[in-house]
Amino acid sequence: MTSSTNLATKYVVFSYSKNNQELVLKIYGYLKNENLPVWINVQDGTNKDIHESEDNIINNISILVCFLTPMYQTSKFFQKQVESARRKRIPIIACRLLPNWKPSGWLNKITSDLLTIDLRGINQKNFLDKTNKLREKVIWLLDNQKDSELLSILPVHESLIDIADQSILLDDSDMFSLVENFHSNCCKKKPIKYRILPKNCCLSLSNLMICNNEYILISGNNHLHLFDRNLKLIRSNNDRKINEDDLKDLSWCSYLNCFIILTKKQIYLMNSLTSKLSIIENIKLKDHREEFISCCCSEEKFYVITCQLNSSSFYFEEYNLPTFRFLRKFQILDFIENTLIIQNGVFNKNFNLEEILSLRYYDKKLAIIMKIGSNWFIYFFYLYDQPFFLKKILLEDKSRITIIDSLNQLIIFKDYLSNSFIQMPMDLENKFQTNQISNYSKAFIDFNGKLRSIASFRMSNLVLLIDNALVIYKL
């Protein structure tokens, strides 16, 4: 049996394996009653109908909602369907159904950076809460799809793309070799890709960089620039200038499928398909003496740190996605003050919170780089009802971090031009310090270049911004 809906217009199409049909039909019915343009193929034992209408379905999808299970992953048909939707730039929402299973292989490569809905453990009691998260994402995508569809049928404006990519592809891989030192053993690692940046990206080059599975985003010449997996410049935002001194942080939000651009006074969403910026209106500074410091995202939350100028007042704020609805706010000094006690319960007055540089999220944990007294630390917190202190790491100097989720590791690099970085395990159960040679490896750039930034790219790679070049290394 097949639903009788005519695919003359575009629909939100459900893609699922037959053994999950009962749950998927229930979700479909709920969203249908909410007047959303959902479409489902009720599968029979042989799946003939859905195979025969595959081309028609793909050509009329506005959003593809995938319900991920091991059976779904082993299906060649579903692989073809999802890959086809990805090629056509159709938004994909991945719904996870099983608590003790994660996608792997082709499914993990495609869905790791997608909008994800957690439907694990869905039951009668939590059905509305979990399904409404899917509903909110569908509505948000439908509301924001008109601009993308218009751009897909109109010529791209010159201000949005650098058609003549003037970057220089280098031939000598030895030019960007790294020397890794681990347990007194040295090995040389060659890059897999490397390219000199175009001239219009090199001026006022920021040390901030962020990646998703498709793009690398940097800031240069007071504009944002997107590069593809081959390190070719594909698009720049020339509509709005963002001065290097105003830019505070870059983040990727898989929930919204957008980059987040944090400046001192504003927060923007950047559409990766158009490079256009839109202000997030729901987050406003309440005082002209306040500034944004750093930000990051989890699957369903947005986190930002603000500060009161000329004071040690730093605040951690949490917002719900996709609406950026305010949830809670803490003063950071309140949940680190116990770590400043030295002897007999007395606070050391020389250990004030002087500065915060960066905020990062990983697996229900926060990593905050802060200066206390004259020293820089990474503080780790677990996100309970309020952030709960786990441990801190003493740093050699002012530094930034990149978290490699796939390896459960941490990259530490200087917040200024240097020729080395540290890679270490995210071992938060046991005490470790960066000066313990057994717990980390140190990599040196084996030429006269200077490292600006590092970001994790496509799960198994690192992208380094070295001088005026982008360089990719295999992890």
Residue 30 lies in a domain: yes
In a domain, 268, yes or no: no
User: Based on the domain organization, do 215 and 142 belong to the same domain?
Assistant: no
Segment 395-442, tens digit of pLDDT: 888 999 998 887 788 889 999 888 888 888 877 665 544 433 345 677
Based on the fold, state whether residues 93 and 230 are members of the same structural domain.
no
Q: Is a pLDDT exceeding 80 seen at residue 175?
A: no
> Where does a domain end: 117, 148, 179?
148
Single residue among 148, 181, 201 that ends a domain in this structure? 148
Whether residues 354 and 225 fall in one domain: yes
Predicted confidence band at 113 (pLDDT cuts at 50, 70, 90)?
Answer: low
76-85 pLDDT, tens digit per residue, is 999 988 888 8
178 in any annotated domain: no
220 falls within a domain: yes
Instruction: Judge contact between 332 and 315, C-beta under 8 A.
Output: yes
- What digits encode the pLDDT tens for the residues 271-306? 888 889 999 999 999 888 999 999 999 989 999 999
Name the average pLDDT for the chain.
79
> Whole-angstrom Cα distance, residue 261 to residue 242?
10
**Which of 16-20, 111-115, 277-281, 327-331 is predicted with the least confidence, judged by mean pLDDT?**
111-115
pLDDT at 385: 78
Kindly state whether residues 331 and 458 are assigned to the same domain.
yes
Q: What are phi and psi of 37, to 5 degrees?
A: -80, 65
Give yes or no: residues 92 and 198 share one domain: no
**Which class for 330: exposed (0-12), middle (13-18), buried (19 or more C-beta within 10 A)?**
middle
Q: How many CA atoms lie within 13 A of 295 on its CB side?
A: 32
Q: Report pLDDT for 199.
A: 81
The domain that holds 61 is classified in CATH as 3.40.50.10140
Mean pLDDT for 202-216 is 88
Separation of alpha carbons 415 and 402, rounded Å: 12
In a domain, 205, yes or no: yes
Nearest-angstrom CA–CA distance, 113 and 457: 11
Distance of alpha carbon 57 from alpha carbon 10, whole angstroms: 9
The last residue of a domain, from among 148, 180, 197: 148
Within 13 A of 208's CA, how many CA atoms are on the CB side? 28
**Whether residues 82 and 230 fall in one domain:** no
Range of the domain at 34: 11-44+52-148
Q: How does residue 159 score in pLDDT terms, banded at 50, 70 and 90?
A: very low
In a domain, 429, yes or no: yes
Number of structural domains found in the chain: 2
Q: Which pTM value belongs to this model?
A: 0.65
- If asked whether residues 331 and 454 sit together in one domain, one would say yes
